[in-house]
Amino acid sequence: MTSALSHPELLTCANRVRAAATDHDLERLQREAADLLDAFVEHTSEERLVLQRLPTFTARLVRRGQERLLDQLIALSVETEDVDTTCRCEQLGTDVIWQIELQADAERRAFGRAGVNIDRPRTTSRTPGLEG
């Protein structure tokens, strides 16, 4: 698994979302939130084949965590579009970071039991500033 962003790279993207929210930079926030959502969808698509190698119950737990995180990312993206209300984006960004950390840990344990290293270093990165 090397084309989608790794968990550390997803966390970097999530930190960019929270930073944009903290700066109250709506345009950057919308762009970063959309990029994170797209990256996460690609990330989970890549993991789909590995999920098939897990025991049914474990795979179900991992998928449910991915679905919860996807729901949070969608809520964040929707929140950035609704400029007529008070934006909870900074808190949602913090929640997304926390959820990515939990999901990454759960996946490392589950995939590790299946003999798969999900956060292998890559020679190049699609995330600016994450070369190596």
Question: Higher model confidence: residue 70 or residue 53?
Answer: 70
For 8-53, how does the pLDDT look when each residue is reduced to its tens digit (9 = 90+)? Answer: 999 999 999 999 999 988 899 999 999 999 999 999 999 888 888 8
| Domains, the chain, with CATH or none | 7-113 (1.20.120)
Contacts 24+ apart (CB under 8 A), 101-105: 101/11, 102/65, 103/7, 103/65, 103/66, 103/69, 104/7, 104/10, 104/11
Give dist(CA 27, CA 40) in Å, integer: 20
pTM of this prediction?
0.82
Residues in Cβ contact with 70 at an 8 Å cutoff, skipping those fewer than 6 apart = 37, 40, 41, 44
In this structure, are residues 6 and 118 in contact, taking their beta carbons and an 8 Å threshold?
A: yes
